[in-house]
Homo-oligomer: A and B are copies of this chain.
Amino acid sequence: MKNKISMAVIRRLPKYYRYLKEMIDKGVDRTSSRELSEIIGFSASQIRQDFNNFGEFGQQGYGYNVKALHGEIVKIIGLDKEYNMIVIGCGNLARALINYGFGDVGFTIQALFDNDPAKIGTEFHGVEILDTNILETYLSKNDIDTAILCVPGKNAQGIADRLMVCGLKSIWNFSPVDLRAPEEVTVENVHLVDSLMTITYLINK
């Protein structure tokens, strides 16, 4: 794999993954960048360029083997591995995410954290809710890949700092603030209110 893959390409990968999986489910064996373009909406040359970033998948005039291409994208995204996750802030959104599951992404939620004494010690979906105070102790003993941050905005940076001090390298941030983090830490923001504001803007246009 070449080194410098742009974020724009990376953000298109899950889309390729989804559409190729749909094709497999429908029994489609082969496809072309032109056909993919019609389904996905990116240009055919964009699609060929994207796939070229990761190696030689297709054959000129012959197209792509859907299963092989899908398998490669699974490996590129890293869906062939298992990941460990913790959730911090067990409000409604966190509970919904836990219930919702993560489709084909192999994340196991190993622990939940909250600072509400009424929640600490209880279980949700078979996972115990621990005291946020013991976050550092917990992380020193457990191998965690990602934290889902669902705490109020005013607490988010403080918790993120503590996670990063403990060596955590990725945060899925649902708190309504932008986190300061060094470049080597992945912060993936899901700013729901920002997304909704885009709608109000476009409604009024």
Check if A198 is an interface residue, CB within 8 A of chain B.
Answer: yes
Q: Which of A170-204 contact B (CB under 8 A)?
A: 170, 172, 176-178, 186, 188, 190-204
Quick check: is A18 within 8 A (CB to CB) of the other chain?
yes
- Contact mask for chain A residues 79-109; partner B; CB cutoff 8 A; 1 contact, 0 none: 1010100000001110111011011110100
Q: Select A202's contact among B79, B81, B186, B201, beta carbons within 8 Å.
A: B186
Check if A204 sits within 8 Å of B81, measured CB to CB: yes
> Which of A6-14, A43-51, A64-72, A135-143 contacts the other chain?
A6-14
A9 to chain B, nearest CB (A): 10
Question: With a CB–CB cut-off of 8 A, which chain B residues contact A177?
Answer: 18
B residues near A190, Cβ cutoff 8 Å = 190, 192, 195
B172 & A195 in contact (Cβ 8 Å cutoff): yes
A30 within 8 A of B: no
Given the interface pairs A176-B103, A192-B97, the reply to whether A10 lies near B202 with Cβ below 8 Å is yes
Q: For A77, what are the chain B residues with a Cβ–Cβ distance below 8 Å? A: 197, 200-201
10 A-B pairs (CB sep. < 8 Å): A13-B198, A14-B191, A18-B176, A78-B200, A78-B201, A78-B204, A92-B96, A170-B199, A170-B202, A186-B203
Binding site for B on A (CB under 8 A): 10-11, 13-15, 17-18, 40-41, 76-79, 81, 83, 91-93, 95-97, 99-100, 102-105, 107, 145-146, 169-170, 172, 176-178, 186, 188, 190-204
